[in-house]
Structure 1
Amino acid sequence: EDPTLVRGLDYYTRTVFEVEVEGAGVGAIGGGGRYDGLMELEGGKPTPGIGFAVGFERIALALASQGVELATPEPTCVYVAGTGAETRDAVFDATLALRAAGVRTEADYQGRSLKAQFKQADKLHATLCVVLGPDEVAAGAATLRNMATHEQVQVPMADLAAEVAARLA
């Protein structure tokens, strides 16, 4: 507690606070207080209030000073690609099934070409790409493509989530 703390904004009344991390050398990482007269100051009727703000850069610096590693590996992604409008429902169903199985899944919703979808999958660092064309849909299967090796295998749709999970493990 510091009864002489001043936040530097005229609309604060009574209680003000700041949060600091000892030894971080960044000063306050956040602060705020009561501002009971702010609404009146702006032409409104008297309304009590409280507010605060934090500085994300200061929080990151404070965490780094404490030895906290901020970078985390990006979760594995699977991309579901369709070859045209006739496969849109199958792409949607496969995406939902994979997400329900806990797999981070992305899909094309813009009607891009298969080549453009593969480029998007690469941009998203997808590990696997599920490809659904008219032949796959008719056979009740999907082509599962390893994006690193380009190896492809056909998988029955009923086994897709389990097969993807096994390959990501």
Structure 2
Amino acid sequence: MCDECNHRAEINPLRAFDCKNPQCAEIMEGAPRITDHLCDDCREHYETVKRYLTASGLSFVEDTRLVRGLDYYTRTVFEVQVDNGMGSQNAIGGGGRYDKLAKEVGGRDVPGLGFALGYERCVLALEAAGVEFPNASTLDLFVACVDDSVRERAFSLVQECRDAGIATEMDHQQRSLKSQFKLADKLHAAQVAILGPDEVAQGCVKLRNMETHEEQMVAFDELIKVLCQ
């Protein structure tokens, strides 16, 4: 191993996967895969992340040798790439989770997640894809969860609406239903889709107009059509 990798081994041995030295790269080809040595909690967390990615319709590739250039990451790290002819410059961003960083710098012991995007690369990728930015608008829809059992379905529903050009949000802090409505009102949501176990079983949401307070049951496959009327 090169001198830099030997030094890194004392701090973060995973950084050796990022070494550009051909000899180090050859050695690391035979290194154990980190996914084969996860504890039960980390494995459950990792599988949950993958389920949410699948639920949102995002394709992903598992890379057991992916590392970031900073040593404070814990659990999952990621890199965002585009496939539009940008060649080796197709990585437009990356980041990961850092559960211990806030405490290490003197703050509260709270988990964190962050990422960085390359502005110029994002612009190039959007131009290559022919994307036009929509005008800023108020929130079209807020998806409210009755309980945690429907969060994955709510998450995928949010993604489906966003893909259709509908400005959509949901709660990510496990607030009560009442608090979710307060958040929807604060965000000036035009409508709220209420989703609970009964609605999931019936394949529908209860859609409430936040101005008139009128409610109607709308099937999942009809929701986008109703919102676009």
The bucket for the TM-score relative to the shorter chain is 0.5 to 0.7
Q: Which residue, out of 199, 216, 219, partners 1:156? A: 219
CA distance in 1, matches of 2:198, 2:147: 12
CA distance in 2, matches of 1:137, 1:125: 25
User: 2:161 matched to 1:121?
Assistant: no
For residue 122 of structure 1, report the CA deviation from its aligned partner. 0.2
Question: Which of the two has greater strand per residue?
Answer: 1
**Aligned pairs for 1:26-65 within 5 A:** none
Moved over 6 A (4+): none
1:22 is matched with: none
Paired residues in the alignment total 95
2:168 is matched with: 105
* Backbone CA RMSD of aligned residues: 1.4
Q: Secondary structure at the match of 2:153?
A: helix
For residue 73 of structure 1, report the CA deviation from its aligned partner. 6.9
Gaps of 5+ in 1: 1-71
Q: Which amino acid aligns with 1:92?
A: F
- TM-score under structure 1 length normalisation: 0.54
2:195 is matched with: 132
More RCO (CA 8 Å, sep 6+) = 1
For residue 79 of structure 1, report the CA deviation from its aligned partner. 0.4
Q: Secondary structure at the match of 2:218?
A: strand
Question: Which of the two has greater helix per residue?
Answer: 2
- TM-score under structure 2 length normalisation: 0.40
Decide whether the 8 Å contact of 1:77 with 1:124 is kept in 2: no
Identity %, equivalent residues: 43
CA distance in 1, matches of 2:173, 2:139: 22
For residue 162 of structure 1, report the CA deviation from its aligned partner. 1.0
1:58-89 per-residue CA deviation (whole Å, 9 max, x = no partner) reads: xxxxxxxxxxxxxx874343101111110101
Q: Which residue, out of 85, 92, 97, partners 2:155? A: 92
Which of these two proteins has the greater Rg computed from alpha carbons?
A: 1
